[in-house]
Every structure is written in structure tokens, then in C-alpha cells.
């Protein structure tokens, strides 16, 4: 089955949309699925869009990877069932960003909703190369990267994702965001932690508010948006135009609509997601993590999670789902 056929056949049982709507280009009031390394593949994006996400992002894609090899393009290419996609790029060289933006725009055409530049990733193997959140210390270079992307893909919105700052107590986000706006960024996503915090502690949505006050372009709130209610609070409390949901999507594509799924719908969603992994050619071992997320909170959840850890084929994962249905529902 194709991914579109999987959605048509199996999404309704999970209270998810069997057909997907294209992004209308507006951010106001929208909930977006964040880029997540090792998570946001085509199947994951399709589940999020079926759950109500206005737009879904690729994993962050290395500009150097696109330049030197073909494998990175697997992270960029949308499935035919996806109406559109936001592609997030990372790197540190404006010339590679220009080339990548040009090639991504040419390859995706009308399916490319926007190009996002990662200036937020705190992982040392990224920052030691001057990429991700390391760019927060080099606003002039970051601005040149924004300009390079705009030159490479004229007419495609270019956005940036940033953090409060790189080091604890050194918030640079408002003035940095102004520099990105001056360079032509169409929107700024703000994660309310410092890079050195990684994902520890609490995100400070006040940082989002301060950026929203500092720029005139739309601001996207990010960080600790773990539920639909939290997303609505972020919109109302920060002055952000939109909200980006990351970990809140784990096993919960309904986070975008606010629907409270039943156990039966969770099992059906897991089955749909497994079938989408197969239809999109993804590595089926990803379903091991999905099992833990979808079955969380169910009776004997550890049992089902452990059973999934030995699965390899789609049929084996679906057999675990059948066991859950027989014992839990």
C-alpha cells in the first residue's frame, strides 16, 4: 500500500484525518510539528499532519551532507502523500546554504513550504563545528546565512530557529532575532532554554515574549509544549503567532487537535504508524520507540514495550498491537 492508501484505510479508526490539507502559508494561531533528529521522518510527519499539524518539518539536514553525498536527500524528500514540507538545514558556511537552498527548492518545487535554518541545536558534535546554537555567538555570519538561503531560493520563505542564548544567563535572543529579521528572515522560532541547558530544566516562555516584542515578523514558541493546552497557553501568554511541538508529539498526533484518544484509538494509531513506516520505506526498528510512546499509560505497558523491542517486521509489530487489543481493550 502507498502511504496515501494507508491513511485512507487506517487513519479513521485512530480518529485521524484520512486526507491531508496543504499549508495555507499563514502562521497565525497554527500548531506545527517540530524538526526532531531521528524522529521526524515521512511517516512521522504524515501522522502529525493527519492529527492536525498545520505544517511538519524534516529532520535537520546537513548542508555539507547535501553537497558531498546523496544519502542526506533521504531526509529531504517528502512522500507523495505529503502535501508540503518544511525543510530545516544546518551548517556554518553561507555558500553551502545558498547551494542547498537552491537544490532543495528545485527538487521539491511547490511541495517546499519554507526553509528553516537551525541555530538552536545544542549537541556538542554540532556546535564544535560552529553550527547550530554556536551561530548565536556570530550574528553577522548567521545573517549572511539567511541572506544566502534567500538568494538560493528566491520566493521561498526562510525562517530561523534559535535558543535564548548559548550560555546560561547570557540571553541574546531579542537582539539576535532583530538581526535575523534585518537579514530577511520571514519568522523566528524561539526555544526558551539556553543551549548549555540542553533539554534540562524548564523552558522560559518569557524569552519568547521578549523576542516577539523585539521583532515585527511572526515568532514561533518552542520548548515544553507537551500538550494541546500548553500550546494554547503558549499562544496566549507569549505573543507568539504559532507554536512548535516536539516531544509533545510522542505517541500523540492528537496534540494538535486537542482530541483525547481512547486506548483503542492509540492502538489503531500505532498500527497506522507502523504501516506508514513500511509504506515510506523507513527502517521498521523505529517502531520500537513508537510502541513505548503509544502504549504508555496502558495496563502492562512495559510488557508491550518489551515485546516490541524484539520485533523486526511490520507483521511482528502489528502482532504486538493485536495482543494489546486483546488484553487491554
Active-site positions read 121
* Cα–Cα nearest to 321, from 300, 298, 291: 291
Between the two ends of the chain, the Cα-to-Cα distance in Å is: 27
**How many whole angstroms separate alpha carbon 50 and alpha carbon 14?**
10
**How many whole angstroms separate alpha carbon 200 and alpha carbon 193?**
8
Nearest-5° angle of CA 199, CA 122, CA 93?
155
Name every residue whose Cβ is closer than 8 Å to that of residue 154 and which is 6 or more positions away in sequence: none
3-state secondary structure of 273: helix
- What letter does residue 165 receive in the DSSP assignment? E
**Backbone dihedral region for residue 141 (phi beyond 0: left; psi -120 to 50: alpha; all else: beta):** alpha
The answer to whether the CB of 243 falls within 8 A of the CB of 220 is yes
Nearest-5° angle of CA 100, CA 44, CA 233?
95
**How many whole angstroms separate alpha carbon 165 and alpha carbon 93?**
20
Write out the DSSP string of 89-124: EE-S-HHHHHHHHHHHHHHHGGGEEEEEEEE----H
Integer CA distances (angstroms), 56 to 96, 136, 272, 315, 322, in order: 24, 24, 18, 28, 29
**How many whole angstroms separate alpha carbon 237 and alpha carbon 96?**
38
Q: How many CB atoms lie within 10 A of CB 187?
A: 23
Amino acid at each position: 500500500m502507498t502511504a496515501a492508501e494507508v491513511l485512507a484505510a487506517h487513519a479513521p479508526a485512530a480518529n485521524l484525518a484520512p486526507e491531508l490539507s496543504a499549508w495555507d502559508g499563514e502562521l497565525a494561531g497554527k500548531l506545527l510539528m517540530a524538526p526532531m533528529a531521528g524522529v521526524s521522518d515521512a511517516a512521522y510527519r504524515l501522522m502529525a499532519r493527519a492529527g492536525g499539524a498545520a505544517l511538519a518539518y524534516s529532520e535537520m539536514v546537513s548542508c555539507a551532507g547535501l553537497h558531498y553525498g546523496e544519502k542526506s536527500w533521504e531526509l529531504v524528500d517528502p512522500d507523495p502523500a505529503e502535501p508540503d514540507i518544511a525543510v530545516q538545514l544546518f551548517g556554518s558556511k553561507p555558500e553551502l546554504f545558498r547551494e542547498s537552498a537552491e537544490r532543495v527548492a528545485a527538487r521539491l518545487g511547490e511541495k517546499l513550504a519554507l526553509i528553516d535554518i537551525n541555530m538552536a541545536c545544542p549537541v556538542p558534535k554540532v556546535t564544535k563545528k560552529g553550527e547550530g546554537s554556536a551561530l548565536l555567538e556570530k550574528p553577522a555570519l548567521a545573517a549572511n546565512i539567511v541572506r544566502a538561503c534567500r538568494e538560493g531560493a528566491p520566493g521561498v520563505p526562510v525562517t530561523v530557529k534559535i535558543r535564548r542564548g548559548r550560555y546560561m544567563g547570557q540571553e541574546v535572543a531579542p537582539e539576535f532575532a532583530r538581526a535575523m529579521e534585518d537579514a530577511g528572515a520571514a519568522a523566528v522560532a524561539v526555544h526558551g532554554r539556553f543551549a548549555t541547558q540542553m533539554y534540562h530544566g524548564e523552558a522560559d516562555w518569557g524569552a519568547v515574549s521578549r523576542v516577539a516584542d523585539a521583532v515585527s515578523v511572526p515568532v514561533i514558541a518552542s520548548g515544553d509544549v507537551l500538550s494541546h493546552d500548553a500550546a494554547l497557553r503558549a499562544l496566549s501568554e507569549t505573543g507568539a503567532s504559532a507554536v512548535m511541538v516536539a516531544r509533545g508529539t510522542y505517541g500523540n498526533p492528537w496534540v494538535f487537535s486537542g482530541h483525547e484518544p481512547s486506548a483503542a484509538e492509540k492502538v489503531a494509531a500505532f498500527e497506522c504508524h507502523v504501516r506508514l513506516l513500511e509504506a515510506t520505506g523507513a527502517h521498521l526498528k523505529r517502531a520500537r520507540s513508537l510502541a513505548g510512546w503509544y502504549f504508555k499509560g496502558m495496563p502492562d505497558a512495559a510488557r508491550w514495550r518489551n515485546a516490541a523491542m524484539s520485533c523486526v517486521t511490520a507483521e511482528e509489530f502489528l502482532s504486538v498491537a493485536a495482543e494489546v487489543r486483546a488484553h487491554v481493550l
